[in-house]
C-alpha cells in the first residue's frame, strides 16, 4: 500500500511538471527562459526565442541582443539595452530601459517601477495598472496571433497561410497536451484523495451561492496580497509560497469542477456505481475540452475560468481544505423534527362527546 501511495505521489509531481512545461514542449525550439532568484544575461548578438520570466532575480539584455517574445518581471530587476519583440509586464519589480532599448509591444506595470532613458523606444502603450488574467489554468491557444512577427519599427510581415497552418497545428498539439495533463491530474488527485474531492464537490453542489462568493473574494485577496508581498523584496519568499498555494488551489478547482461535470454526465448515461476517480477524470477531460472551445469567443475564457477557480477555492475555504463538511449543510435538516411532532399532536383524535346530561352546577344560594 505504501508503494502505491509513493507511486501516485510521483505521478502527481510529474503531472504538475507537465502542466508547467506544456508551452515549452509545444514550442519545440522556443523554450524561453525563467529566472527565479538568480541572474541572467543575454549577450550582444544573442537571441532568446521565447518568453522571458524574472521572479525575484535579475536579468540583463545587452545592446544588440533580442528577445523574441514577452517579458514578465515579478519582484525582480530587468535592465534592457537591446530589443524586445513583445510586451513587458512588471509585477512589483523594476525595469530600466537604456537609450538603445526597443520594445515592440506594450509596457504595463502593476505596483512596479520603470526607469526610461531618453531615446528608449516603446512602440505600444505605456500604462500603470491595467487588466491581467486570474490563474484560470489554462488558456485558449488554438489560433496564433498574427501581429507577433515584427522585424523592425516600420516593417510588419504577416504569416503566409502555410506558416499560419503550422503554427495552428502546434497550438492544437499544445492544447491537447494541456487537456490530457488536466485529466491525468484529476485521475491522480482522485486516487490519492477521493473523500476530499467528493466533499469539496458536494459542498459546491449544495451551497453554490456562498461557495462562489467566498471563492471570488478569496482570489481577490490572494492575488492582491501576492502583489503587495512581491513589491516588498524582503517578503518575496512569502509571495512565492503564496503563489504556489494559489496554483495548487487552481488545479484542485479544476478537479472539483470536473468531478461535478463527470458526476452529472455519468448519471445521465446511467452508469452503474461510478467511482470518484472515474467521475473526476472523465469530467475534467470534458470540462477542459469545452473550456478550450468556448475560449475561442472573446471574453468567455476569463468568465468561464473565473467560475471554475472560484467554485473550487470557495469549497476549499469553507471546508478548511476538505477536512470537514460545511456546517450549513448539516444545519438545514435539523428543524424537521419539531414539525413532525406538531403534526403528530394535531393528528390525535379528539375525545368523543358524551350524550349524558351534565349535572347542574351549585351556585351556593
The pLDDT tens digits of the residues spanning 32-76 come to: 788 777 789 999 999 998 888 887 788 999 999 999 988 888 777
DSSP-derived 3-state class of residue 148: coil
d(C-alpha 363, C-alpha 288), whole Å:
90
What SS3 class is residue 340?
Answer: helix
Residue 107 to residue 90: CA distance in whole angstroms: 8
Residue 64's pLDDT is: 94
Give backbone dihedrals phi and psi of 166, rounded to 5 degrees, phi first: -65, -45
User: What is the torsion angle, in degrees rounded to the nearest 10, for the CA atoms of residue 52, residue 161, residue 153 and residue 111?
Assistant: -40
Rounded alpha-carbon distances, angstroms, from residue 230 to 59, 127, 135, 250: 17, 19, 17, 20
256 band by pLDDT with thresholds 50, 70 and 90: very high
- Cα separation, 291 vs 270, in Å, equals 25
Residue 1 near residue 191, CB atoms below 8 Å: no
Per-residue pLDDT for 206 more than 50?
Answer: yes
80 neighbors 97 (Cβ within 8 angstroms):
yes
- 3-state helix vs strand vs coil in the chain, percent to 5: 50, 15, 35
What is the pLDDT, as a whole number, of residue 166?
58
Mean pLDDT in residue range 99-105? 93
pTM over 0.75: no
Q: Which pLDDT value is given to residue 340?
A: 45
Domain-wise residue ranges, the chain: 2-161, 193-329
pLDDT at 104: 92
DSSP, collapsed to helix, strand or coil, labels residue 180 as helix
Give the C-alpha separation, 13 to 297, whole Å: 33
Among 48, 287, 304, which residue's Cα sits nearest to residue 185? 287
pLDDT of residue 27: 39
Max Cα-Cα span within the chain? 129
Question: Is 22 in contact with 177 (CB distance < 8 Å)?
Answer: yes
pLDDT of amino acid 111: 67
pLDDT attached to residue 173: 79
- The per-residue pLDDT for 56 is 77
Lowest mean pLDDT of 59-63, 156-160, 246-250, 304-308, name the range: 156-160
Asked if the bond preceding 308 is cis, omega within 30° of 0, the reply is no
- Contacts of residue 100, Cβ cutoff 8 Å, sequence gap at least 6: 63, 81, 82, 119, 120
Nearest to 256 by CA among 283, 220, 290: 283
Cell of 154: 516600420
The confidence score (pLDDT) of residue 42 equals: 93
Q: Residue for cell digits 545587452?
A: 62
Of the listed ranges 19-23, 185-189, 217-221, 225-229, the one predicted with least confidence: 19-23
Amino acid at each position: 500500500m505504501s508503494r502505491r501511495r509513493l507511486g501516485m505521489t510521483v505521478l502527481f509531481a510529474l503531472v504538475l511538471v507537465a502542466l508547467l512545461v506544456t508551452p515549452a514542449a509545444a514550442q519545440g525550439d522556443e523554450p524561453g527562459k525563467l529566472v527565479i532568484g538568480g541572474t541572467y544575461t543575454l549577450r550582444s548578438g544573442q537571441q532568446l526565442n521565447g518568453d522571458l520570466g524574472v521572479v525575484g532575480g535579475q536579468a540583463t539584455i545587452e545592446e544588440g541582443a533580442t528577445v523574441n517574445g514577452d517579458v514578465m518581471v515579478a519582484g525582480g530587476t530587468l535592465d534592457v539595452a537591446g530589443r524586445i519583440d513583445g510586451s513587458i509586464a512588471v509585477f512589483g519589480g523594476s525595469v530600466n530601459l537604456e537609450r538603445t532599448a526597443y520594445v515592440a509591444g506594450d509596457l504595463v506595470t502593476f505596483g512596479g517601477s520603470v526607469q526610461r532613458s531618453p531615446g528608449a523606444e516603446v512602440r505600444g502603450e505605456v500604462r500603470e495598472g491595467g487588466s491581467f488574467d486570474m490563474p484560470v489554468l489554462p488558456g485558449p491557444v488554438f489560433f496564433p496571433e498574427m501581429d507577433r512577427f515584427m522585424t523592425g519599427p516600420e516593417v510588419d510581415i504577416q504569416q503566409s497561410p502555410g506558416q499560419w497552418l503550422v503554427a495552428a497545428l502546434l497550438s492544437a498539439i499544445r492544447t491537447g497536451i494541456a487537456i490530457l495533463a488536466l485529466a491525468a491530474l484529476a485521475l491522480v488527485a482522485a486516487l490519492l484523495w477521493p473523500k476530499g474531492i467528493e466533499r469539496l464537490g458536494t459542498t459546491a453542489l449544495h451551497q453554490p451561492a456562498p461557495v462562489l462568493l467566498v471563492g471570488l473574494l478569496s482570489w481577490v485577496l490572494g492575488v492582491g496580497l501576492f502583489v503587495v508581498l512581491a513589491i516588498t523584496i524582503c517578503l518575496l519568499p512569502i509571495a512565492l509560497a503564496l503563489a504556489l498555494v494559489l496554483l495548487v488551489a487552481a488545479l484542485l478547482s479544476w478537479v472539483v469542477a470536473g468531478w461535478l461535470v463527470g458526476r452529472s454526465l455519468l448519471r445521465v448515461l446511467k452508469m452503474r456505481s461510478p467511482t470518484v476517480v472515474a467521475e473526476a477524470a472523465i469530467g475534467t477531460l470534458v470540462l477542459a475540452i469545452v473550456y478550450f472551445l468556448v475560449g475561442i469567443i472573446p471574453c468567455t475564457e476569463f468568465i468561464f475560468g473565473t467560475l471554475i477557480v472560484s467554485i473550487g477555492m470557495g469549497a476549499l475555504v469553507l471546508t478548511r481544505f476538505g477536512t470537514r463538511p460545511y456546517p450549513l449543510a448539516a444545519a438545514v435538516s435539523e428543524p424537521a423534527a419539531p414539525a413532525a411532532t406538531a403534526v403528530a399532536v394535531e393528528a390525535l383524535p379528539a375525545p368523543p362527546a358524551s350524550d349524558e346530561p351534565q349535572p347542574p352546577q351549585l351556585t351556593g344560594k
